[in-house]
Structure 1
Amino acid sequence: MGEIGESSDPPFEEAYKKLFDEFNYAPRLSSEVDEVIAVDERELPLIDLEELSRGEMAREECKNKIARASQEWGFFQVVNHGIPREILETMRKEEVKLFKRPFKEKAMADKEFNFSEGSYRWGSPSASRVRELSWSEAFHVQLSDIYADGGNHHLSSIMRQVAIPLYELGQKLAAILAEKVGSSPTYFQETCLLTHSYIRMNRYPPRPISFHSLGLMPHTDSDFLTILHQDDVPGLQLVKHRKWVSVKPNPDALVINIGDLFEAWSNGIYRSVEHRVVTNSTRERFSTAFFLCPSYDTVISSSFEPRLYRRFTFKEFKEQVREDVKKIGHKVGLSRFLVVTDHS
């Protein structure tokens, strides 16, 4: 790739030159721009977790707010979550330093930090047109990698410091949601160990103003819960009432969203909602996401009848997602596991 390695940005325009050429020679595709413009900007339900440590009435009302937001939005945000701002800010600084490295160095960072092969990702290998291209780069790191690292790297040390309180927060919220549907709150302690989960560091570089590609394509998360720490640059959007809504950033809050596994486990009571990231033409955006996941052999099964989804393991779910992305270019997700479905 010549001298591209001197730049910190992935070589989007070189790698996807054919797609950009097709976009330029087909002006009618510009009408698709409307699809990446949200119709409204909204603030997610805001929940003060300090209420959990107050009287019984305040505690129960707080739990009800968490459950209600998970049913109606699939998303909410929390403040007074107990995670020191200093830890989150230190993690952000280390993340920025990592992404500012030359592209060639980032492409080789898996070996340097003992991350699993393929942890560094950028673009969309399956994209067949500009609107399917994710204008972003990320390090998707399994926490078992950083705990096996032995503490030899400063970045790994910082990731461990932030992972523990994020994991504890995820467990607390999962237990509340389980309690509110009458299930055992210990289920997640037994199936979702810290080393089963992931941290994903995201960077969304400024994209050329002439290309209206997304930072991250529409998707749902393949986990139980996701906890997101984002900067003040807008970009996160989600589907509400069948329309895209832009989420107003709150620098004091963490964003929580329900994943596919929780929707299946709760028999559809809690909703895994489609979301995406829209890029900015002038400002880069950073975020850090924590994914609360079970072991690969964990069976996902609802105790409610009639079941919407058949029993499946997390491994089976992940393999189906990979197969769909490889064959048709995108994730199908939970609809593959409906009790009654037809994909003929």
Structure 2
Amino acid sequence: MVVLSTSPVCNQTACNAVGVPVVDLSRPRPDVSRIIVEACEEFGFFKVINHGVSKTLMEQMENTAREFFSLPAQEKEKAGPPTPLGYGVRNIGFNGDVGELEYLLLHANPSFIHHKAKVISKEPSSFSYVVNEYVGAVRHLSCEILDMLAEGLKLRNTKAFSTLLSDLESDSLLRINHYPPWNKNNNLSMNGNKCGSTRIGFGEHSDPQIISVLRSNDVEGLQILMSDPGGNSVWASVAPDPDAFFINVGDLLQAMTNGRLLSVRHRAMANSHEARQSIIFFGAPPLHSLISPLPDMVSPANPRKYNPFTWSEYKKTMYQLRLSHSRLDLFQADEPQGNNSLD
């Protein structure tokens, strides 16, 4: 969810770079599972290398996105307005939230991408082919990571997370963000919050889905919210790596693990000199899926923290609220419950 970045204040300490956990998928699987769990518990965020997605496909996807954003405004607007899917500029929510960006939000369903390609590209067949190949690759990567996470958590059903993404009715999305460099000659720029030589491109938020898989070009901008040794919340910059993917724990994964894994809060800064482009796969369940803490995550020592809800209900709440509100708080159990979660 997106919220205004009123706190913490961005200063030299807050904007220091952070060394995020790196997960090498070429290592033995038990080691990878353990590292993923530790990273999700401590950061809710990690970087993946040796991930198996071909560099050629990654570059094709980046070039395809760049070609779209280089089109004249009137051509790009044919893919909008965002309702919420489609092309949008600066308006990134239904409640007045704005950012220093333009974006394309697509459902990850192949037929949707094929249909939408007709108003996005002059070569729709090429566009839909590249995007669907990319979505298929990152969906597979997401499921592999979720299976290893489940193994590391010692769940009885190690497919508990990935089954929701592989379902044919999965509500997963692909979002492509373009942050133009802001300057006095850039009509996309606006008077917003500043942090040193950058402006906030996409404000503080957590991702509502299960998992997010992000790749960006080699331009800095991503920041995650962390606690410093004194317990203060600070913004930490994440060094870009166009050859890697960055993984976010989402709200639903926090709920399913009964709060053991925390949905990471993050934001993106608009660079003053270079355009930044990011491509994010949001892995989500079908709309009718019932979300509840998994039985393995509930015990007398760790009672159920969240009431059951469907992904459809959660999305509706997300759109109705001012985006500064915490959504999971609305689904917290009034009184901690015992091990009575739904299978």
- Normalising TM by the smaller chain, what interval? 0.7 to 0.9
**1:164 is aligned to 2:136:** yes
- Secondary structure, aligned partner of 1:187: coil
CA contact (8 A) 2:8 2:234 kept: no
Amino acid of the structure 2 residue aligned with 1:172: E
Q: Which runs of structure 2 are paired with 1:103-142 in the superposition (5 Å)?
A: 103-109=73-79, 118-124=85-91, 133-142=98-107
- Secondary structure, aligned partner of 1:217: strand
Work out the CA distance in 1 between the residues paired with 2:37 and 2:249: 11
- Secondary structure, aligned partner of 2:10: helix
The structure, 1 or 2, with the larger RCO (C-alpha pairs under 8 Å, 6+ apart) is: 2
Per the TM alignment, residue 153 of structure 1 is displaced from its structure 2 partner at its CA by: 2.7
**1:41 is aligned to 2:8:** no
Against the structure 1 CA distance between its residues 266 and 33, is the aligned structure 2 distance closer, same or farther, given a 3 Å change threshold?
closer
- Deviations along 1:249-279, one digit per CA (max 9) or x if unpaired, are 1232110110000000001111101100011
**1:185 is aligned to 2:158:** yes
**1:290 is aligned to 2:285:** no
Correspondence for 1:254: 245
Aligned residue pairs, count: 297
Correspondence for 1:18: none
Per the TM alignment, residue 188 of structure 1 is displaced from its structure 2 partner at its CA by: 3.1
Against the structure 1 CA distance between its residues 122 and 295, is the aligned structure 2 distance closer, same or farther, given a 3 Å change threshold?
same
Work out the CA distance in 1 between the residues paired with 2:329 and 2:138: 29
CA contact (8 A) 2:106 2:175 kept: yes
Against the structure 1 CA distance between its residues 245 and 125, is the aligned structure 2 distance closer, same or farther, given a 3 Å change threshold?
closer
Per the TM alignment, residue 124 of structure 1 is displaced from its structure 2 partner at its CA by: 3.1
Per the TM alignment, residue 156 of structure 1 is displaced from its structure 2 partner at its CA by: 1.1
Against the structure 1 CA distance between its residues 118 and 253, is the aligned structure 2 distance closer, same or farther, given a 3 Å change threshold?
closer
What is the aligned counterpart of 1:226 among 192, 212, 216? 212
What is the aligned counterpart of 2:326 among 328, 332, 338? 332
Work out the CA distance in 1 between the residues paired with 2:113 and 2:93: 32
Correspondence for 1:24: none
Work out the CA distance in 2 between the residues paired with 1:125 and 1:74: 23
- Secondary structure, aligned partner of 2:154: coil
Correspondence for 1:155: 127
CA contact (8 A) 1:206 1:282 kept: yes
Q: Give the CA RMSD over aligned residues.
A: 2.7
Amino acid of the structure 2 residue aligned with 1:299: L
Against the structure 1 CA distance between its residues 43 and 319, is the aligned structure 2 distance closer, same or farther, given a 3 Å change threshold?
same
Correspondence for 1:94: 64
Structure 1: runs of 5+ lacking an equivalent? 1-30, 52-57
Correspondence for 1:4: none
Per the TM alignment, residue 189 of structure 1 is displaced from its structure 2 partner at its CA by: 4.1
Work out the CA distance in 1 between the residues paired with 2:320 and 2:142: 29
Work out the CA distance in 1 between the residues paired with 2:11 and 2:131: 33
Correspondence for 1:320: 317
Work out the CA distance in 2 between the residues paired with 1:40 and 1:127: 32
Structure 2: runs of 5+ lacking an equivalent? 1-5, 118-123, 185-190, 228-232, 336-343
More strand as a share of residues: 2
Work out the CA distance in 2 between the residues paired with 1:188 and 1:125: 28
Against the structure 1 CA distance between its residues 220 and 186, is the aligned structure 2 distance closer, same or farther, given a 3 Å change threshold?
same
Per the TM alignment, residue 116 of structure 1 is displaced from its structure 2 partner at its CA by: 7.3
Per the TM alignment, residue 59 of structure 1 is displaced from its structure 2 partner at its CA by: 2.5
**1:197 is aligned to 2:175:** no
Give the TM-score normalised by structure 2.
0.79
- Deviations along 1:25-69, one digit per CA (max 9) or x if unpaired, are xxxxxx999537743101311111001xxxxxx321221011100
**1:79 is aligned to 2:44:** no
- Secondary structure, aligned partner of 2:214: strand
- Secondary structure, aligned partner of 2:254: helix
Amino acid of the structure 2 residue aligned with 1:44: V
Work out the CA distance in 1 between the residues paired with 2:75 and 2:326: 33
Which has the higher mean CA deviation after the structures are superposed, 256-265 or 184-193?
184-193
Against the structure 1 CA distance between its residues 146 and 42, is the aligned structure 2 distance closer, same or farther, given a 3 Å change threshold?
farther
- Secondary structure, aligned partner of 1:123: strand
Work out the CA distance in 2 between the residues paired with 1:332 and 1:33: 16
Per the TM alignment, residue 91 of structure 1 is displaced from its structure 2 partner at its CA by: 0.3
CA contact (8 A) 2:30 2:152 kept: no
Amino acid of the structure 2 residue aligned with 1:47: V
Against the structure 1 CA distance between its residues 149 and 123, is the aligned structure 2 distance closer, same or farther, given a 3 Å change threshold?
same
Against the structure 1 CA distance between its residues 143 and 133, is the aligned structure 2 distance closer, same or farther, given a 3 Å change threshold?
closer
CA contact (8 A) 2:226 2:235 kept: yes
Per the TM alignment, residue 299 of structure 1 is displaced from its structure 2 partner at its CA by: 0.5
Per the TM alignment, residue 146 of structure 1 is displaced from its structure 2 partner at its CA by: 4.1
- Secondary structure, aligned partner of 1:316: helix
